[in-house]
Amino acid sequence: MERVLITGAAGFLGSHLCDKFLNEGFEVIGMDNFLTGSPKNIQHLKQHSGFSFIEHDVTNFIDIDGPLDYILHFASPASPIDYLRIPIQTLKVGSLGVHNVLGLAKAKKARVLIASTSEVYGDPLVHPQTEEYYGNVNPIGPRGVYDEAKRFQEAMTMAYHNFHGISTRIVRIFNTYGPRMRLNDGRVIPAFMGQILRGEDLTVFGDGSQTRSFCYVDDQIEGIFKLLFSDYNLPVNIGNPEEISILDFAKEIIELTNGQSKIVFKDLPVNDPLQRCPDITKAKTILNWSPKVDRQTGMKKTFDYFKSLTQEELYQTNYKNFDNFIKK
């Protein structure tokens, strides 16, 4: 049985990756420090004979007993509300964290897949974004701590690949949604759905003409899995190229959920990307992958998940976790 380490295992994507690899017959070691992840996301795995968990901060040295075949590095704050509140930790997990992960991969002779992001393209001047586009990023802007952490991750990963011969993969993840997202993490889908469930108006920033494209989590996980087992070591976009404006999306959410909310407009945040859409030609040709779940189906599944949350969960934030971690 092959062994895989998944950092950020209690996060949204990390927990779904744990499910995927266990279902495929792997032994899975999950690792998380619960800064932004939740024990609830992996509670169902505690009794699984193929799953073990280590509570650990990957910015500290990582030591795993026994052999490792694969490592997937998904530990990182991943939403604006996270990395604006914990900027230093965001930078550290993208620098010290990836260094520790790559060092472990070198020691174990393991293949490593690094989770990068569409944010490496910044506010793009090319549309849709191909992997060859270098990006339009403000390194000292409010989003710079996340953007530059991920750009550094990619550079460090390629350095280990080229200098040490490590088998590496890099996935550039575009907006992904589905069950186990944190409701109050500041991203547009949980933000809109949380506002609907709390009976609040939907907040649209700017005039709502900025665009996003949304990939359902099952599709994203399948793309990541295929990339890991491909022979391609350069970055690959994984996302859904079906684009929609934020204003149209807000209207779609109200209709889908039979909500009574109105739409209110607020100022656009600094450096908020005006367009975000992946060119997935590489994923199609190299991985034989493309998204399968249409937005209406995926949104219904996601809304049903959020409807199942308790009243306390509808209103809670992760600020306490942040504050307790920073005091350690």
Instruction: Evaluate whether 270 touches 137 at the Cβ level (below 8 Å).
Output: no
The encoded tokens of residue 92 equal 């550290």
Chain center to CA of 193: 18
- Beta strand pairing status for 70-73 and 111-117? parallel
Instruction: Compute the Cα dihedral for 252, 253, 258, 259 and give only its sign.
Output: negative
The encoded tokens of residue 256 equal 């889908």
The total number of residues written for the chain in this structure: 328
The residues near 295 (Cβ < 8 Å, ≥ 6 apart) are 214, 216, 240, 242, 244, 252
The encoded tokens of residue 1 equal 């049985």
In 149-231, which ranges are E strands?
168-173, 176-177, 202-205, 211-213, 215-216
Pairwise CA distance, residues 156 & 118, whole Å: 17
Which helix (H) or strand (E) segment holds residue 153: the answer is: helix 144-164
Q: Biggest alpha carbon distance in the chain?
A: 57
Pairwise CA distance, residues 305 & 193, whole Å: 10
The set of catalytic residues is 146
Instruction: Evaluate whether 295 touches 214 at the Cβ level (below 8 Å).
Output: yes
203 by DSSP, 3-state: which?
strand
